[in-house]
């Protein structure tokens, strides 16, 4: 049996969040039980994490690593260096990792959606496999204790901590929360590879009997090309079954991917290498600052300078996918950074209900509903209006880039797996119901009155 933590409050709740304490993808306990760690998996719930983080200071584990001299360091140089990375540099590294990995995650999500959208596909929900893949990586990173394992940190633990598997794992996790690369991989890459808003859009399309069904020759089928209308179901009962199918498929497979990733981490723990912490701080962190910001600037320049091209509406024609891809990459870091700071501010407010993740998922879904309605409204096709090709591509970029990175499934399913059962059902049910309700109001009011038209950029 798992021990029940306090639900009345938490120590230190009035303190400002530090080192990712309120990022549930960073602070949540691993999703599965590892017998080699005795009772740590059985006793941890997400609700109890604030209490544990108040007892173990991540900053202490980071300082311990910095105080340990590496063999290549001169003792005089060691004492001349600062004992820890300044808060400004730490924030710069974290933001740079988020920018870089949000663009990589968004690009990979769009590629997976395009590759899995083909005639005869067993599942028509385009974002399913991106959500499953991102959840699997999240499960691996949450369970893993080797990649960011540092002998210099372990050597500074007290003897009773080193000999107790549960205490040792807790202290290692506290150290892992301070590593910018880990925050970039979980919050940046996994959060951007998965999209809650796109998932809810697919639920709405199932409800409105208007799902995207690929048909025709493979080379003519694309997410960014309007296909022929599919067969409509005879009554609302079939739409209800379609909703259940999308919900069970998306949530069930995403949770399965989370657990599978955690199982992989346990199975490979003996062979997983450890990343050298000194190498990360000295080389990779500064390099990421250059790569992250430079990549973002280059994408913006590509959007501005590349001429608009027109051609046949085929799968691999650049005129079909280049605009939506580039605009998505432009907006991706904005959504990821907004999710990061909103989660830091709100996730610790309500025990048993991650308010930050809920806020970004609902807010991102609302923005997607607004952009989808404007894109599919019957307006002039002039390039000077929002219905023009460029305006249509901007709206597509907002939906796939900003909304896709502002909302996340990987963190959401990790929270569902780590919350107490009652809290998990309430949190998951409210998230889906509120998000779907907003799309029904935003898109449904247009679809069931004036109808939806094909966007100018989806020919």
Distance, in Å, from the CA atom of 357 to the CA atom of 346, rounded to the nearest integer, reads: 8
Q: Is residue 384 scored above 50 in pLDDT?
A: no
Question: Is the pLDDT score of 228 beyond 60?
Answer: no
pLDDT interval class at 229 (50, 70, 90): low
* Angle, CA of 428, 403 and 307, to the nearest 5°: 160
* Structure confidence by residue, pLDDT tens digits, 311-367: 555 555 666 778 889 999 999 999 999 999 999 999 989 888 999 999 999 999 999
**Contacts for 272 with CB less than 8 Å, ≥ 6 apart:** 144, 146, 147, 265
Closest CA to 58 of 32, 98, 90, 100: 90
Residue 241 has pLDDT above 80, yes or no: yes
Cα distance between residue 329 and residue 243, in whole Å: 30
What are the domain boundaries of the chain? 24-55+84-447
CA distance 17 to 1: 31
Mean pLDDT, rounded, for 417-439: 96
User: Is residue 77 exposed (0-12), middle (13-18) or buried (19+ Cβ within 10 Å)?
Assistant: exposed
Separation between Cα atoms, residue 172 and residue 167, nearest integer Å: 9
pLDDT of residue 348: 85
**Which residue, among 416, 28, 399, has the nearest Cα to 199 in the 3D structure?**
399
Asked whether 22 and 356 are in contact (CB, 8 A), the reply is yes
Q: In the predicted model, what is the mean pLDDT of residues 106-111?
A: 96
pLDDT value at residue 345: 94
Q: DSSP secondary-structure letter at 349?
A: S
C-alpha span between 386 and 285 (Å, rounded): 40
Dihedral angle of Cα 198, 203, 207, 209, to the nearest 10 degrees: 60
Q: What is the mean pLDDT of the segment spanning 38-64?
A: 51
Q: Is 384 buried (19+), middle (13-18) or exposed (0-12) by CB count in 10 A? A: exposed
371 Cα distance to chain centroid: 20
């Amino acid at each position: 049996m798992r021990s029940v933590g306090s639900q009345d409050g938490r120590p230190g709740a009035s303190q400002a969040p530090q080192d990712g304490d309120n990022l549930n993808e960073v602070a949540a306990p691993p999703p599965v039980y590892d017998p080699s760690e005795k009772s740590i998996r059985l006793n941890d719930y997400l609700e109890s994490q604030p209490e544990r983080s108040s007892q173990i200071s991540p900053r202490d584990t980071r300082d311990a690593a910095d105080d340990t001299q590496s063999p290549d360091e001169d003792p005089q140089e060691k004492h001349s260096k600062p004992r820890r990375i300044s808060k400004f540099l730490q924030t710069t590294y974290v933001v740079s990792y988020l920018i870089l990995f949000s663009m990589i995650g968004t690009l990979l999500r769009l590629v997976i959606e395009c590759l899995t959208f083909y005639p005869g596909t067993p599942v028509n929900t385009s974002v399913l496999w991106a959500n499953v893949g991102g959840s699997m990586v999240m499960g691996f990173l949450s369970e893993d204790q080797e990649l960011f394992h540092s002998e210099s940190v372990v050597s500074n633990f007290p003897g009773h901590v080193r000999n107790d598997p549960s205490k040792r794992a807790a202290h290692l996790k506290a150290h892992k929360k301070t590593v910018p690369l880990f925050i970039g991989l979980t919050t940046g890459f996994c959060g951007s590879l998965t999209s809650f808003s796109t998932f809810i859009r697919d639920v709405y399309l199932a409800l409105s009997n208007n799902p995207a069904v690929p048909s025709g020759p493979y080379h003519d089928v694309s997410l960014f090309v309007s296909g022929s209308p599919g067969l409509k179901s005879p009554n609302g009962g079939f739409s209800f079954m379609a909703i259940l199918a999308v919900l069970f498929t998306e949530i069930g497979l995403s949770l399965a991917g989370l657990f599978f990733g955690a199982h992989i981490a346990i199975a490979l723990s003996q062979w997983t290498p450890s990343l050298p912490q000194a190498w990360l701080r000295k080389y990779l962190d500064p390099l990421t600052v250059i790569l992250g910001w430079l990549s973002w600037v280059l994408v913006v320049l590509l959007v501005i300078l590349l001429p608009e091209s027109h051609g046949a509406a085929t799968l691999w024609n650049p005129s079909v996918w280049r605009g939506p891809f580039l605009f998505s990459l432009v907006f991706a870091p904005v959504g990821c950074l907004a999710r990061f700071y909103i989660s830091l501010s709100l996730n610790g407010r309500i025990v048993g209900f991650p308010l930050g993740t809920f806020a970004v998922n609902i807010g991102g879904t609302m923005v997607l509903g607004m952009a989808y309605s404007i894109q599919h409204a019957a307006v002039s096709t002039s390039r000077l209006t929002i219905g023009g090709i460029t305006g249509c591509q901007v709206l597509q970029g907002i939906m796939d880039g900003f909304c896709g990175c502002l909302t996340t499934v990987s963190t959401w399913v990790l929270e569902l797996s780590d919350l107490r059962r009652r809290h998990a059902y309430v949190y998951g049910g409210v998230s889906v119901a509120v998000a779907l309700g907003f799309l029904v109001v935003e898109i449904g009011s247009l679809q069931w009155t004036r109808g939806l038209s094909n966007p100018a950029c989806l020919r």
